[in-house]
Chain A
Amino acid sequence: MSGATHSARGFWPVMGQAFLWAFLLAVGVVVLYPLLWMGLGGFKSNSQIFDQPFALPQSWSLENYFSAWRGVQGYMVSSLLVTLVSTVATVLISARAAYGLTRTAMPAKPLITAFVLGGMMLSPTVALVPLVRMLQSLGLYDTHWALIILYTAFRVPFTTFLIRAYMLDLPRDLDEAAMMDGASPGQIYRRIILPLCRPIIVSCVVLHILFAWNEYLFAMIFTNSPSVQTLPVGLTSMMSKHGTDFAQVFAAMTLSALPIVIIFFLTQRYFIRGLTEGMAK
């Protein structure tokens, strides 16, 4: 009897584990395989993609990648520029805002906090028409600045929200100790609070890069000329231009995804720590 219950108790947890692993593996395959397939597709010829979609490429020729690079590099520069500038702007503004919202004796702070964080609720689509008019009248339409300003404006609330939550957990004693040490609010921010917020700042940087690199709606609407367009828009226009040359499209897609993948792996440590830090002291 006791042996039977013991084996029954052993059986289900093992099965549960097995199912869990199988499920996670399946999810992994579903996510990763198309990416791999895309990368491999870049090495194939167009006919091979259609004839043997699941086979390995016949030759590992970089020809497609080189020609894709020539098509994509302009967009890549735009993407890099927009992503870089908007990331720096967003994180700097958000960190400073979060410091103000958590550390100063500003009047009507709850109201201002609600106002800033309420920005997260605003759907970009709703604001499109007025934004187009606004940026046109400012003469910023079809410039990198349009995207930089929009990406910054729309991501500041969320980024502020993340950094603010982190700052709320930093003990006030540190501020007061620095105050006793003679530090001004600006010095406390730069030399105490900001360095301590590094994990969440890195997380925010990565999140913003992911967003800005992949953003499509604003990029499509607010840019027109190829010299200003970013990768997502550029890839779409490449697809319509080389609609039949899938090998080159795949190569271009792989190239455009590569920087993000590299950044993620480089910052993964911070990224995961940033998301879990503060859960347990």
Chain B
Amino acid sequence: MAELTLRQVRKTYGSMEVLHGIDLDIPSGSFVVFVGPSGCGKSTLLRAIAGLEDISSGEFAIDGERMNEVAPSRRGIAMVFQSYALYPHMTVFENMAFGMRIAGLKKDEIARRVTRAAEVLQLAPYLDRYPRALSGGQRQRVAIGRAIVRDPKVFLFDEPLSNLDAALRVATRIEIAKLKQAMPGATMIYVTHDQVEAMTLADRIVVLRAGRIEQVGSPLDLYRRPANLFVARFIGSPAMNVIPGTVRIGPEGARLDLATGGGLRAPFPLDAGLAGQTVQVGIRPEDLRLAEGEPLLVGRISYIEQLGEVQLTYIEAEGLAEPLIAKLPGVLDLAAGASIALTADAQSLHLFGADERSLRPEPAAAVPEVTSARS
């Protein structure tokens, strides 16, 4: 059991601040994923939690106990490195046993724990091998094994799958998810820039940008109710389409006139002060469909990526610099160069103000269905 709390955690290198006051609570037994583009500070934050980086100011605590000055090995934390960082001159057994030997555990206890971990990770036949004689996936499992034999309270994963090929990545991702199921009490923190890993593994995602937390929430929370334009674009693949629109408030409620022509009713009531203002209208590619009646968007197909089940259709629309992407059923007969008319439900729209924050009201009643389902 380990609950992690970060209060105004800052990290500076010389005059450059890379973490700008992180506030975060990580509940015991949760699987939290830090996600964000390169250089957003997610690895630095992880390393600060591990104790490999000093915290410049603020406080980091595990179960209420301040950890800022505690040595990495005394924090009850194990870490899986991106490069695996296996000791090349030690066998698989020795790699896993090293930490326990340092801690002075008895020989038979060490052997018992290593054997058990090796069974869980299907490494038993390889215990006498050196890391150089293992495949990438096996090395990864040894790195995970080295973490679990120590029976830590907190597991840290620093982009553990980025060195694996696509097929192995999916397989190992599932193994990590199973590992979490097998250890419901362990708190796991996982860093990645791959939002698919984040969505599939996490029960809470922390989206970081430039050393700040943009949003914390469950994967579906972030997908359905992104707090700002950055999160909206980062979560979901392909990324959300964004079209500027003007707010018009009439007697029958708020309407949006899109820069591409067309318009529709706002998905939720808008503040009267927004009348005449420009907002950003976000539509996910999967929410677009062929229009049967009056279209919302009209454009020309510039390119199609046929994936079988779906086809990613790139559409050039008037008034937009970047093409829109629509995820349409693969069976539709579409061709590049043809014109296309699309529509979307008003309820599926996301609206963002000039400050890029979501305009969606956050009624307390709207949230519990998700959070209560998780607790």
Interface residues of A (CB under 8 A from B): 171, 173-174, 176-183, 187, 191-192, 195-196, 198
Q: Judge if B365 is at the interface, Cβ distance under 8 Å.
A: no
Q: Judge if B170 is at the interface, Cβ distance under 8 Å.
A: no
Bound-state CA distance A195–B79 (Å) is 23
In the complex, how many angstroms separate the beta carbon of A111 from the nearest chain B beta carbon? 19
Bound-state CA distance A170–B139 (Å) is 18
Question: In the complex, are the beta carbons of B77 and A182 less than 8 A apart?
Answer: no
Interface residues on B, range: 20 to 34
A contact patch SS: helix
Q: Given A178, A181, A196, which contacts B89 in the complex, CB threshold below 8 Å?
A: A196
Stretch at the interface among B96-104, B112-120, B211-219, B349-357: B96-104
- B77-97 with Cβ < 8 A to chain A: 77-79, 81-83, 85-89
Q: Tell me which residues across on chain B come within 8 A of A181, comparing CB atoms.
A: 73, 98-99, 102, 146, 150
Question: In the complex, are the beta carbons of A173 and B73 less than 8 A apart?
Answer: no
Question: In the complex, are the beta carbons of B79 and A180 less than 8 A apart?
Answer: yes
The 3 closest A-B pairs by CB, nearest first: A182-B73, A181-B99, A173-B85
Q: Judge if B346 is at the interface, Cβ distance under 8 Å.
A: no
Q: Given A174, A180, A196, which contacts B72 in the complex, CB threshold below 8 Å?
A: A180
Q: Give the interface centre of A177, A183, A196, A198 by most chain B CB atoms within 10 Å.
A: A177
Q: Given A177, A183, A198, which contacts B81 in the complex, CB threshold below 8 Å?
A: A177
In the complex, how many angstroms separate the beta carbon of B12 from the nearest chain A beta carbon? 16
Task: Give a binary string over B100-144; 1 marks a CB under 8 Å from any A CB, 0 the rest.
Answer: 001100000000000000000000000000000000000000000
In the complex, how many angstroms separate the beta carbon of B188 from the nearest chain A beta carbon? 15
Q: Tell me which residues across on chain B come within 8 A of A176, comparing CB atoms.
A: 52, 79, 81, 85
- Given contact pairs A180-B78, A182-B102, A196-B88, enumerate 18 new A-B contacts (beta carbons under 8 Å): A171-B83, A171-B85, A174-B87, A177-B81, A177-B146, A179-B52, A179-B72, A179-B73, A180-B72, A180-B73, A180-B77, A180-B79, A180-B99, A181-B98, A181-B146, A182-B74, A182-B103, A192-B87
Q: Tell me which residues across on chain A come within 8 A of B50, comparing CB atoms.
A: 180
Question: In the complex, are the beta carbons of A183 and B102 less than 8 A apart?
Answer: yes
Bound-state CA distance A196–B85 (Å) is 13
Question: In the complex, are the beta carbons of A187 and B79 less than 8 A apart?
Answer: no
Bound-state CA distance A176–B86 (Å) is 11
Question: In the complex, are the beta carbons of B83 and A173 less than 8 A apart?
Answer: yes
Q: Given B74, B77, B79, which contacts A177 in the complex, CB threshold below 8 Å?
A: B79
Question: In the complex, are the beta carbons of B102 and A187 less than 8 A apart?
Answer: yes
- Find the A residue at minimum CB distance from B99: A181
- Name 29 interchain pairs, CB-CB below 8 A, sorted by A: A171-B83, A173-B81, A173-B83, A174-B85, A174-B87, A176-B52, A176-B85, A177-B79, A177-B85, A177-B146, A179-B52, A179-B72, A180-B50, A180-B73, A180-B79, A181-B98, A181-B102, A182-B73, A182-B74, A182-B99, A182-B102, A182-B103, A183-B73, A183-B102, A187-B102, A191-B98, A192-B87, A196-B88, A198-B89
